[in-house]
Structure 1
């Protein structure tokens, strides 16, 4: 049976578990969701690939990293600046006072303004920011944690022998940089789900290798890069990743109202199964 490596996003730290146990737990959960995705795509006649979970969350929760933020006010100044970049990508309102820029507004006021324009509750935006930005910043701001996360993903790919990598959310950033940093991994197909790779300021401008002329470099050896974004995913911004990277196929659909941006949602979607199946034929 073919095998695929799946790279998780934020909020997957399994306190008290070894990296191996955490990876096994995630793989078991994802297998159930991917089976549902194959059913949704009416591909029950095909074998669902075996999953190896690339677990790196423990590398972002070391003695140097900050504890989990309880609320928006607990974010560091750097994390709050990253939140402002994210809110800008969501769409800043036009009703700012004359001479006032969005970057000069208090974060809570900015949240309220974006909430009114987007129709998303300010509390929801705050929860997303608190869940997402600390781990993103923990990864991007520390060369040591960055390298350790990449090593964990590279080792999962090497040990599994997989030629297909599926990466969600922050995991798409870690996997993208891993495919650049390590030679000879043999990955041929890269499927990104709910990816923030193109998010200016908070992610895109901090990538390694650095983008040039507004365009990110495609990982070497890749034959296929498929990006999938839920139309309601507030983290997958800008949604058309192909405008900033050499993505071969970009797919966008409406998946869920309440469970947006979760990896379970993406794996249970037939669109993901349909993208994955051609690269996992035995």
Structure 2
């Protein structure tokens, strides 16, 4: 399918499929456009498709990446190898920060008693900083991002899905969560490919553990990666996946936008429905005059 706008989904989508997810993204995108235009729009004014790679993660023993509203539990930590456990503990501590770690140490009620002891304080600290369930959202993101960047065969397969979805008519790429890392990798791997806009939502691209694993985290550090007309990064400060903050410190020409997703800070449909996301799209794909 030829599409002007292509989305790249995030974690925990192994059990769904392209049609289901595209059916969720489309209405949310329309909500964002209407919020930006401040008027009803009868339908998406551009063609849209989703680069779906979720099933490529099905051969792992890890369960679905967790979401704060999805009934997540500590099974997200099933099958942690010692090396991964240590890396997760370090990354979770970085995400929580010193204040939250100190507060978690002093908590009278101790949570996460059934997980490895090395993770407990950091996980409680993540929930203290970002809200209940944040640690499991973070862990789900960490595990899938780590696997994508450390497993060459998996990365090649995921990248091939995006390569197939983006063609000469594609002008905008939208990446959520892990999808923002995959989208960045598409841009890096295709320096001659022009895109008018990259939109990243709830992105972990600023996280130390991600940048240490990326093939070239400094690509485009002079301003924007080659071939990009613009890059808008939308994040909720309460989103544990996007804990590292604004991305303009790494790519100076990014426009960082802060939003408030309230109780579901990492939800893609809420990110897509924001005025800030719609405004970014309308900047390069303006609506016809009424």
**TM-score by structure 2 length?**
0.79
What is the aligned partner in structure 1 of residue 212 from structure 2? Answer: 205
What is the aligned partner in structure 2 of residue 131 from structure 1? Answer: 140
Matches of 1:85 and 1:66, distance apart in 2: 21
The answer as to 2:272 corresponding to 1:267 is: yes
The answer as to 2:286 corresponding to 1:281 is: yes
Cα displacement (A) at 1:82? 3.0
Correspondence for 1:225 among 231, 234, 247: 231
Q: What SS does the aligned partner of 2:166 have?
A: helix
Q: In structure 2, do the counterparts of structure 1 residues 115 and 67 end up closer, same or farther at CA, with 3 Å as the change threshold?
A: closer
What is the aligned partner in structure 1 of residue 131 from structure 2? Answer: 120
What is the aligned partner in structure 2 of residue 5 from structure 1? Answer: 6
CA contact (8 A) 2:223 2:253 kept: no
The answer as to 2:70 corresponding to 1:53 is: no
What is the aligned partner in structure 2 of residue 108 from structure 1? Answer: 120
Gaps of 5+ in 1: 16-21, 98-104
Gaps of 5+ in 2: 65-74, 106-116
Matches of 2:279 and 2:39, distance apart in 1: 8
Q: What SS does the aligned partner of 1:75 have?
A: coil
CA contact (8 A) 2:224 2:230 kept: no
Matches of 2:173 and 2:80, distance apart in 1: 32
Q: What SS does the aligned partner of 2:141 have?
A: helix
Matches of 2:194 and 2:279, distance apart in 1: 22
CA contact (8 A) 1:83 1:133 kept: no
Q: In structure 2, do the counterparts of structure 1 residues 113 and 2 end up closer, same or farther at CA, with 3 Å as the change threshold?
A: closer
Q: In structure 2, do the counterparts of structure 1 residues 272 and 14 end up closer, same or farther at CA, with 3 Å as the change threshold?
A: same
The alignment covers a number of residue pairs equal to 259
Q: What SS does the aligned partner of 2:204 have?
A: coil
Cα displacement (A) at 1:206? 1.2
1:70-219 maps to which residues of 2 (within 5 A)?
70-72=75-77, 74-80=79-85, 81-93=87-99, 95=102, 106-116=118-128, 118=129, 120-121=131-132, 124-158=133-167, 161-201=169-209, 203-211=210-218, 218-219=224-225
Moved more, 129-138 or 51-60: 129-138
Cα displacement (A) at 1:85? 1.3
CA contact (8 A) 2:127 2:135 kept: no
Correspondence for 2:40 among 20, 32, 44: 44
What is the aligned partner in structure 1 of residue 22 from structure 2? Answer: 27
RMSD: 2.8
CA shift digits 1:207-258 (9 cap, x unpaired): 122438xx5984211111111111221111212111122343111121222x
Matches of 2:134 and 2:84, distance apart in 1: 14
Q: What SS does the aligned partner of 2:187 have?
A: helix
Q: In structure 2, do the counterparts of structure 1 residues 26 and 244 end up closer, same or farther at CA, with 3 Å as the change threshold?
A: same
CA shift digits 1:109-146 (9 cap, x unpaired): 33234544x2634xx13321342222112201101111
